[in-house]
Chain A
Amino acid sequence: MPLVKSGAIVADDYLHVADGDAIAEGAVLLPAARFLVDPEGVLKRNSKVGVIWPNSRNIAELAPWLDRVAAVALVFPTFRDGRAYSQARLLRERYGFRGELRATGQVLRDQFVFMLRSGFDAFEVKKDSDAAAFTEVARRYSVVYQPTGDGRATAAARRLSRQNAEARS
């Protein structure tokens, strides 16, 4: 499964740790339940720690450690289950999370725009062809209608600034 970051297909430097496995050396992504057993303990390691957070669990529970967690992976069990979009926005916009925010599970081309606008910056894409099309698809819409944490100027804001510019000139 290709990983896309900053528009390019890159190698994944995180090891996904399953529930029963030992925590290996190097950067790891841990299931939430595993992480929560001893957060301080795992965060003391010398390498990066990320958490895989299920979409049915309140993201606020992760808040105390967000400044030390390097990555959060949110889950789309099917592309039709949109809970992780809300979690992503909360992480970015309410809890100020600045680390890697990764979309996992059923991640398909036609969700990229929604995911980017919700704050994701890393994508475990299901299909190679979708990953290859990432940059093109991400540019699909030059117009957005609602403000989110991505800071893009909305249609309404652009109209008003254009009017103001006209009024000044």
Chain B
Amino acid sequence: MYAYDEIDRTFLSERVAEFRDQVRRRLNGELTEEEFKSLRLMNGVYLQLHAYMFRVAIPYGTLSAQQLRRLAHVGRKYDRGYGHFTTRQNIQFNWIKLAELPDAMEDLAEVGIHAIQTSGNCVRNITTDQWAGVVPGEIDDPRVWAEVLRQYTTLHPEFAFLPRKFKIAISAADHDRAAIKIHDIGLRMRRNDAGEIGFEVLVGGGLGRSPFIAKTIRDFVHARDIISYVEAVLRVYNQYGRRDNIYKARIKILLHELGAERFAKDVEAEWAQIRDGMLEIDDAMVDDIRSRFRYPRYEQLSDTPQELAKASDPRFTAWLQNAVAPHKVPGYAVVTLSLKPIGGTPGDATAEQMDAIADLADRYSFGELRVGHEQNLALPNVAKRDLPALWRALDKIGVATPNVNLISDVISCPGLDYCSLANTRSIPIAQELTRRFANHDLAAMIGRLHVNISGCINACGHHHVGHIGILGVDKNGEEFYQITIGGRADEGAEIGTLIGPAVPYAEVADVIEDIVEAYLALRAAPDELFIDTVKRLGVQPFKERVYATR
């Protein structure tokens, strides 16, 4: 956990004061909605179908128990008693009143959280692996570098009005849980031959109307140069990114139009001018940031405690196999809390749940929590001997559904239930899928399978990179859905392939069942994942199965 100091706290209160003034000027008419729009967006405030929506950053997905309690408080006091965790390590509140927003921000600032740059055409909340710092085999804790970049990009005067939003993600483990290849900049931590740490830099990933997987523009940038390198990328983009067409304004289009080589050359030329200047990171600065991350004092514990051996409840066993992952310290585990209960809204948590989870984090996880892009939470530091007791507590509050990474762990955008841009509903489709695949044995037998749903082409639900992707489209005023398969967001990221014509709302769940049945019949062995079967056979057999009777 990163602890804010006096300087950060001063900054946040100055920020709240500024926003309070902007809201005042909007309410008394000094600011037009058009002028206010870009100001509120830089503070995470959208105008949605029913109300203002407020998006709060959870930098690099790490929260303290105290911060989660404060989010619960905001949900209770200013909203309708819940919050929605998104795919970008943010939480959204859907029913906030404009006049009360400055107060909500002030309440959050007291515990060091804010909504700065969670929207708008600026560098957004920087995301990383939700298991950062606890997963075995990391090169370094990527949150330290996310914090270095978060500070550097906070109210950056040159880059507050980029052609379009700009998202940076960092991964430091072999397995990419941060989806770096679908970000404007993806940073993959690695070591060079001399053993020094740095980053492979990928640029131009993104979904939306024209999806792209990011391309590597430099194999290695030394960690001390990462700020100057990022500044070079941003400066090239700020000057040459398209501003004539909002759909062509992301850096992915610039990279595509120039070609990765030419783009990389422009960046190198800019970088050569600034790399040895004031942006070079000195070790003392990194040490200072690192020292303000609080790490737990782990105990020496048995990796096979008798509490686990004794546990015999089959529901516990199912959860243990599904939601508990290895920790770098023996005797500890990383526990994922599914926010995908059967029939629920993916990513929603009530204020009561948040409070209860915060208490459990204090009791079992050194007061620390994580938020991942799959819209689930995690307790990163649980002693294995506590797992049975923790499970009982989580089960009681409905966040122990053993469906992590299974077919009912659906990623979904808000769709037509909240979003003013939506073509179709997303949430009810997700809910229906969780009901169809509610049988745990069936879901476990199917194995890892990510279903991602977006209610329009903007792709907030990452449908392109779902193993199965569902995209809502409007056909003469009716809700239809295009189905893709074979997408993935990890280190082997790919954009899914369309299997055929869009299907109507009522048939979506049936089609998914057909695809799953086809997979079960086609897979080479029970441990061949859906995504691997698709890779091996292509879409054709799935297409045949789905459209044979339609």
Contacts and interface: CB of A to CB of B under 8 A. Distances in A.
Interface in B115-154: 121, 151-154
B284 A80 contact: no
Contacts of A129: 30
Contact of B10 (A94, A114, A115, A143): A143
B151 A141 contact: no
A129 B28 CA distance: 14
B288 A85 contact: no
A36 interface: no
22 contacts: A79-B161, A82-B121, A82-B161, A82-B238, A83-B238, A85-B157, A85-B158, A85-B238, A86-B158, A86-B235, A114-B158, A114-B160, A116-B157, A118-B158, A140-B14, A141-B14, A143-B10, A143-B14, A145-B151, A146-B156, A155-B151, A156-B151
A114 B285 CA distance: 24
A141 B11 contact: yes
Q: Can you list the 3 inter-chain pairs with the closest CB atoms, starting with the nearest?
A: A82-B161, A117-B157, A143-B11
B237 to A, nearest CB: 10
A104 interface: no
Interface in A81-103: 81-83, 85-87, 89, 94
A115 to B, nearest CB: 7
Interface of B: 5, 7-8, 10-11, 14, 17-18, 22, 30, 35, 38-39, 121, 151-162, 235, 238-239, 243, 273, 278-279, 284-285, 288-289
- Majority secondary structure, B binding face: helix
Nearest to B281: A156
Nearest to B14: A141
A68 interface: no
A113 interface: yes
B158 A79 contact: no
A159 B6 CA distance: 10
Contact of A80 (B10, B17, B22, B121): B121
A125 to B, nearest CB: 14
A147 interface: yes
Nearest to A159: B288
Interface of A: 79-83, 85-87, 89, 94, 108, 110, 113-118, 129, 140-148, 155-156, 158-160, 163
A81 B39 contact: no
A155 B154 CA distance: 11
Contacts of A83: 238-239, 243
A132 B91 CA distance: 38
A87 B243 CA distance: 16
A147 B279 contact: yes
Contacts of B17: 140
Nearest to B161: A82
A80 B42 CA distance: 12
Given A79-B35, A81-B243, A86-B238, 16 more contacts: A80-B121, A81-B161, A82-B121, A85-B158, A89-B158, A110-B22, A114-B155, A115-B157, A141-B11, A142-B11, A143-B14, A145-B153, A158-B7, A159-B288, A160-B284, A160-B288
A83 B289 CA distance: 31
Contact of B162 (A82, A146, A155): A82
- B159, B278, B284 interface centre (most CB from chain A within 10 Å): B278
Nearest to B235: A86
Contacts of B279: 147
A146 B152 contact: yes
Contacts of B289: 156
Contacts of A143: 7-8, 10-11, 14
Contacts of B35: 79, 108
Contact of A142 (B14, B235, B273): B14
A83 B11 CA distance: 26
A117 B156 CA distance: 9
- A110, A118, A129 interface centre (most CB from chain B within 10 Å): A110
A160 B289 CA distance: 11
A55 to B, nearest CB: 9
A115 B160 CA distance: 11
Contacts of B5: 159
A162 B60 CA distance: 27
B117 to A, nearest CB: 12
Nearest to B148: A156
Contacts of A158: 7
A71 to B, nearest CB: 21
Given A110-B22, A110-B39, A82 B159 contact: yes
A90 to B, nearest CB: 8
Contacts of A115: 157
Contact of A141 (B30, B155, B243): B155
B7 A159 contact: yes
Contacts of A113: 155, 157
B495 to A, nearest CB: 30
Contacts of B161: 79-82, 85
A141 B10 CA distance: 9
A53 B238 CA distance: 16
A116 B157 CA distance: 8
A82 B288 CA distance: 32
Nearest to B240: A83
B7 A118 contact: no
A155 B157 CA distance: 15
A103 B205 CA distance: 33
A82 B158 CA distance: 7
Contacts of A89: 158
- A94, A117, A144, A145 interface centre (most CB from chain B within 10 Å): A145
A23 to B, nearest CB: 30
Nearest to A81: B243
Nearest to A55: B239
Contact of B157 (A80, A94, A118, A142): A118
A99 B17 CA distance: 34
A85 B10 CA distance: 26
Contacts of B7: 143, 155, 158-159
B284 A155 contact: no
A74 to B, nearest CB: 12
A113 B18 CA distance: 12
A148 B278 CA distance: 8
A62 to B, nearest CB: 15
B159 to A, nearest CB: 7
A142 B152 CA distance: 16
B317 to A, nearest CB: 48
Nearest to A106: B35
